[in-house]
Amino acid sequence: LHVPSWITGFIRKRQYQQHSECSPAEVAVMNCSGSSAKHFILVHGLGHGAWCWYKVVATLRAAGHRVTALDMAASGVHPARIDEVASFEDYSRPLLDAVAAAPDGERLVLVGHSLGGLSIALAMERFPRKVAIAVFVAASMPCVGKHMGVTVEEFMRRITPDFFMDSTTMVLNTGQGPRNAVTLGPNMLAAKVYEQSPAEDLELAKLLVRPGSQFMEDPIMKDKSLLTDANYGSVKRVFVIAMADTSTTKEMQRQMVDLSPGVEVEEIVGADHMAMLSKPRELCDVLIKIANEHD
């Protein structure tokens, strides 16, 4: 089939115009063959859901990648209530199932935000050969030789008694015994989580956040032997520091990095705790760069 030169010239011109509207990282991806496309799996933080990734999902897909944003159990539109989730493993089950179901040879890019860092750590331990790279975005990043809950314990040790402001804390009566949970309050969201994010995204969060638990009473959080060098420690990790995060400060984020020598670091200036909403384009550029460097 002969294609007239004026058509191919128009296509090239249109491709250039489309590329000129994109970031350098996205242009690099679109100039590559289809085989360069990555599969990103995105995991939200406490009380949130897959909905908080909507900007990142759209941008990564526009750049030619496959993206899966998941609701952990009792989060987002998942039908369970938080008191019905028996354990942190059950909470993380949607992620564990998604990674287990990935075709052989498809190496995943796991991205965990905040508490979601502990969920992707569990997936890395269970399925290390299915994960090409793990990205912790202002996230709880555990280290080999310490129990997973140590990151949450250190966070709770550093914050002031009034940190959660108008949030509602509760004790759930579950089949496994009492469990602490919290619903993040609108004033706290505005002052400490979404302070650099668009007002529309803050209002979306006020409508959609659900009660969440850090599962600190779960034995899995106290198991120092859970994460091993052979599995979790064998997966490349990158920590993305949200430089304007006032809930998990850059000093607190750096401390987690210091516990795991060899972890690479990226920084996003002006990003609050919800980097995917306050600096979505910058976060996507970082994710694409990381994925390409660790193919």
- pLDDT tens digits, 123-174: 999 999 999 999 999 999 999 999 999 999 999 999 998 999 999 999 998 8
Q: DSSP letter at 279?
A: S
Using CA atoms, how far apart are residues 291 and 40, in angstroms rounded to an integer?
Answer: 9
Residue 113 in any domain: the answer is yes
Residue 23 lies in a domain: no
Query: Is 78 labeled as catalytic in the residue annotation?
Result: no
Q: 31 in a domain, yes or no?
A: no
Annotated active-site residue in 273, 278, 285, 294: 273
Catalytic residue (choose from 87, 114, 119, 197): 114
Q: pTM for the whole thing?
A: 0.88
Query: Residue 58: inside a domain, yes or no?
Result: yes
| Domains contained in the chain, number | 1
More confident residue, 10 or 75: 75
Does residue 15 lie within any of the structural domains?
A: no
pLDDT > 70? residue 13: no
For residue 267, the domain's CATH number is: 3.40.50.1820
Rounded Cα–Cα distance for residues 187 and 260 (Å): 34
pLDDT at 17 over 80: no
Average pLDDT over residues 177-185: 95
Note whether residue 1 is domain-resident.
no
pLDDT at residue 1 greater than cutoff 90 = no
Sheet with 108-113, side-by-side order of all strands: 66-70, 39-43, 108-113, 131-137, 237-242, 264-268
Among 92, 223, 44, 95, residue whose Cα is nearest residue 150: 223
* pLDDT for 218 beyond 70: yes
| % the chain with pLDDT above 70 | 88
Q: 213 with 239: CB under 8 angstroms?
A: no
pLDDT per residue as tens digits for the range 39-78: 999 999 999 999 999 999 999 999 999 999 999 999 999 9
Confidence of residue 9 (pLDDT cuts 50, 70, 90): very low
pLDDT band for 294, please (50, 70, 90 cuts). Answer: confident
If DSSP codes are grouped into helix, strand and coil, which group holds residue 186? helix
User: 150-158 and 250-258 are packed helices; what angle lies between their axes, rounded to 10 degrees?
Assistant: 150
Question: Using CB atoms within 10 A of its CB, is residue 141 exposed (0-12), middle (13-18) or buried (19+)?
Answer: buried
Q: Kindly tell me if the per-residue pLDDT of 29 is higher than 80.
A: no
Give residue 152's domain range: 39-293
60 within a domain of the structure (yes/no): yes
Q: What is the mean pLDDT of the chain?
A: 89
**Out of 218, 245, 272, 285, which one is annotated catalytic?**
245
Q: Is residue 29 part of a domain?
A: no
Q: How many CA atoms lie within 13 A of 16 on its CB side?
A: 6
What percent of the chain has a predicted confidence (pLDDT) above 90?
A: 83
Q: What is the dihedral of CA 14, 29, 107, 149, to 10 degrees?
A: -110
Tell me if residue 114 is catalytic: yes
